[in-house]
Structure 1
């Protein structure tokens, strides 16, 4: 669903198409994308602040200039896949079908053990055999050919395929870069398809982004990316329920209110929901969703002494009828003044793919500019790139990966300010600390 949604969305903006709904004529936009539809404060003017479009702060890639290709275990062309996904309105599908029908996914890697058994009926476009080294070389060749045939400056690979089960971390198999490469040659069972793609991207010098919750980035992948000075980012798009949770819990804890119980229930009917109906794949998603409050809880030892933690439950159910319109129901029960309790209940209809597609655009656009940013600091011998793990992209990801030994930040406002202030530094502006002392001093 995500692949057809983001491709159709970019092409709709590129060709400036229009379509009709019961509300009238509609025009494409990039709403939901921080890089394309948000603004950034750059200073003050008499009586207020001065904002400019985020996309004008630095020379970002225009999404309509992206050349799109990819792999899928389903051979269905993107026009028909868009219709099957049923994310967009009927008239939009009719208008966009001629632009989408000639996109055919390349054969992909299919290891049945890693995704739900109910996905087997779609697996008609797979790279044959069980030789994982051959699969790695096949994917690398695909990447090189795509870059050459389209005369591209660079390639960025983004995983938006099915959630896989977790891979076991096994000494001698995936704990180091050397062992991981040997494990691929030996076709070890604990090398997932997404890890094959990650290794292929790293060896080709391409940034790799994991938009799903599984542990694609086993220790050997981190080490390999560092050795090849290639960027990786993950995990799992942060689009709906989890994004709100990261805001609300940050607010509650910062206000001195103690969330004691968080219950999050989801049901959805798209193929993601179908895949997540399998226990092993659900476990990957549960882990990704559960960790989002950890740093906020850890920040307040008054509310949570002795490493205590709120009760936190995640439930996901598959209900085909609702399709891509995921329902998210949350209940937050918090302890307040002198033994009181406060309960917040929320219902959120998350159009799953329409919320994820702008994040995919942002991840590509922002990771690309990160490839071009270098920095020099006191004690450095010259200008250096970011660490191989692009933690600057945490705002867009549920379970952000960070460089070894560095803190994980999940609070949404802090994550966004990180991006903004780094970009401000690139144009010679100081970080925005929101003190605004000029408005708080005594008036004489």
Structure 2
């Protein structure tokens, strides 16, 4: 490990683990039997394999619908694609902004526990490490049916070659200089016996100095800010972050680095023409140290300029229009916003269920209280506003899908800004006593048959960081995978990277950013289905259906 200027280590790579075959390894942490992904034989040469790549041809079938003069016209659309996936998984670094926070310290400790297969004592007995809660590591994908008609499901991580979380080289920044063993203890997330065992592996690691602009986070965070880059010159800060990434990559012999914002929620940045609306203006604003350039946007710009995928795991509008333009120009990758770990994920499922069942939600009221540092920061109104915005849009597309239940904008009368929508309230309160064990209470009031009313209440108690950490891993794993998938835009052009905004990551995010002009999908089922179908398309596989025609016809 190489020292950085403040005397702490620039990166963290844990000692080699014993051979995993020597002890029991949880299935979610086990090495795949298909390190280069599964191989499918389509019998037509549509998918080919070499040691280095998978090439697959795929036909996307859609329906274009036109409503005109009271008639519905449907035209079948078929578009051919070819995908190339690099099969060799590179050596990947994961740099976290907010490394010493609850999520960052929990992620490092949990990877160490899995890598060394460290079990620990609890009041219920011995607990083994695992990656439960991870879509990639702990869920399966339906590949098809066997000759007897039974479903064949395989681990999600087997579909295409993906980095194992144990293999991430970890590093990052934090405004607090606290070594990670102490940061882990401060967070109060993990069981004491696990902390005791992983602390010796974490004690020598101190985060890199980070960017601290007090205007963007709550004033109550000032006492933690003892590890910050000096001065207020944002161009200097940008160059320092870029150098940190370069040094981290070089000193660890990495092929790729993924950068992830898991630090404090910031206030929203004002979108100002001439400041952050284009790539040129954004870079010029950084050079002038403009007040509306946030720390998270600075890290995102540095990542894009270094060719590293950047994921925003917080609700603020990090990905301003100028950043998106810059990513497009550099063919770099960005994703966001805000980890979707508990209450919002349930809300998207329940709202879709009600609307699809023909029941009309009239009001959704969401109340949270938590006592970790995230809750402390969100007790400031400007930072809460960012969270409120990201939580509030989650049911929009479900409501817009059913004009039988909800009036369209055109039916709402003069001056209406949008169509009919349920009342939607979000409240977050800081209660130090409960620590990381967040309480989420939701009330759904819906209209039933002939004017009836239904009220459902859900009480959810969860460990906030233990839900969030697997999502960080999923996002980092999938972001890296997507950098290895290319496709030609036309038959005459060479293979090109995917589009810069990684909307395929929407399943893990509250307020997904998408390509300009395309619809935001918040339905959890559709988000998951879209990701599954894309991975299958990279193998040339048709998307499975639930028609089950063999059981419907004679």
Query: What TM-score does the superposition give when structure 2 sets the normalisation length?
Result: 0.79
Which structure features the higher share of helix residues?
1
CA offset at residue 428 of structure 1?
2.1
Which of the residues 401, 407, 428 maps onto 1:305?
A: 407
RMSD of aligned C-alpha atoms? 1.0
Which structure features the higher share of strand residues?
2
Q: Secondary structure at the match of 1:328?
A: strand
Distance in 2, matches of 1:289 and 1:316, equals 11
2:481 is equivalent to residue 369 of structure 1:
yes
Structure 1 residues 178 and 381: alpha-carbon distance in aligned structure 2, compared to 1, 3 A threshold: same
Q: Secondary structure at the match of 1:267?
A: strand
User: What are the equivalent positions in structure 2 for 1:122-161 lying under 5 Å apart?
Assistant: 122-161=224-263
Q: Secondary structure at the match of 1:350?
A: strand
1:108-130 CA-to-partner distances (Å, cap 9, x unmatched) read 00000000000000000000000
2:520 is equivalent to residue 418 of structure 1:
no
2:318 is equivalent to residue 206 of structure 1:
no
Structure 1 residues 402 and 380: alpha-carbon distance in aligned structure 2, compared to 1, 3 A threshold: farther
Which of the residues 420, 428, 431 maps onto 2:543?
A: 431
CA offset at residue 439 of structure 1?
2.5
User: What are the equivalent positions in structure 2 for 1:176-187 lying under 5 Å apart?
Assistant: 176-187=278-289
Distance in 2, matches of 1:3 and 1:231, equals 22
Where does the alignment leave 5 or more consecutive residues of structure 2 unmatched? Answer: 1-101, 409-418
Distance in 2, matches of 1:138 and 1:385, equals 28
Partner of 1:55: 157
1:207-227 CA-to-partner distances (Å, cap 9, x unmatched) read 000000000011100100000
Structure 1 residues 380 and 245: alpha-carbon distance in aligned structure 2, compared to 1, 3 A threshold: farther
Q: Secondary structure at the match of 1:280?
A: helix
Q: Secondary structure at the match of 1:368?
A: helix
Partner of 1:397: 509
Distance in 1, matches of 2:154 and 2:272, equals 49
Distance in 2, matches of 1:376 and 1:175, equals 29
Partner of 1:346: 458
Distance in 2, matches of 1:161 and 1:53, equals 31
Where does the alignment leave 5 or more consecutive residues of structure 1 unmatched? Answer: none
Q: Which moved more, 1:319-328 or 1:45-54?
A: 45-54
2:349 is equivalent to residue 237 of structure 1:
no
Q: Secondary structure at the match of 1:79?
A: helix
1:223-271 CA-to-partner distances (Å, cap 9, x unmatched) read 0000000000000000000000010001111111110000000000000
Partner of 1:104: 206
Distance in 2, matches of 1:220 and 1:378, equals 27
Distance in 2, matches of 1:121 and 1:227, equals 39
Distance in 1, matches of 2:489 and 2:208, equals 44
Q: Secondary structure at the match of 2:486?
A: coil
Which of the residues 261, 264, 272 maps onto 1:170?
A: 272
2:129 is equivalent to residue 28 of structure 1:
yes
Distance in 2, matches of 1:407 and 1:180, equals 26
**How many pairs were matched up?**
442
Q: Which moved more, 1:283-292 or 1:46-55?
A: 46-55
CA offset at residue 380 of structure 1?
6.5
Distance in 2, matches of 1:61 and 1:111, equals 34
2:386 is equivalent to residue 284 of structure 1:
yes
CA offset at residue 381 of structure 1?
2.8
CA offset at residue 377 of structure 1?
6.4
Partner of 1:18: 119
CA offset at residue 103 of structure 1?
1.8
Distance in 1, matches of 2:222 and 2:272, equals 28
CA offset at residue 327 of structure 1?
0.2
Q: Secondary structure at the match of 2:456?
A: strand
Partner of 1:42: 143
Distance in 1, matches of 2:527 and 2:397, equals 12
Structure 1 residues 377 and 434: alpha-carbon distance in aligned structure 2, compared to 1, 3 A threshold: farther
User: What are the equivalent positions in structure 2 for 1:382-393 lying under 5 Å apart?
Assistant: 382-393=494-505
CA offset at residue 438 of structure 1?
2.3
CA offset at residue 336 of structure 1?
1.1
Partner of 1:91: 193
CA offset at residue 391 of structure 1?
0.1
CA offset at residue 19 of structure 1?
0.5
Structure 1 residues 368 and 339: alpha-carbon distance in aligned structure 2, compared to 1, 3 A threshold: same
CA offset at residue 435 of structure 1?
1.8
Q: Which moved more, 1:125-134 or 1:370-379?
A: 370-379
Query: What TM-score does the superposition give when structure 1 sets the normalisation length?
Result: 0.98
1:166-185 CA-to-partner distances (Å, cap 9, x unmatched) read 00011111111000000000
User: What are the equivalent positions in structure 2 for 1:57-76 lying under 5 Å apart?
Assistant: 57-76=159-178
1:156-207 CA-to-partner distances (Å, cap 9, x unmatched) read 0000000000000111111110000000000000000000000000000100
2:364 is equivalent to residue 262 of structure 1:
yes
CA offset at residue 58 of structure 1?
0.7
* Structure showing greater Rg: 2
Q: Which moved more, 1:87-96 or 1:319-328?
A: 87-96
Structure 1 residues 261 and 379: alpha-carbon distance in aligned structure 2, compared to 1, 3 A threshold: farther
Distance in 2, matches of 1:377 and 1:49, equals 34
Partner of 1:329: 441
Q: Secondary structure at the match of 1:431?
A: coil
1:19-41 CA-to-partner distances (Å, cap 9, x unmatched) read 10011111000000010010111
Distance in 2, matches of 1:201 and 1:311, equals 39
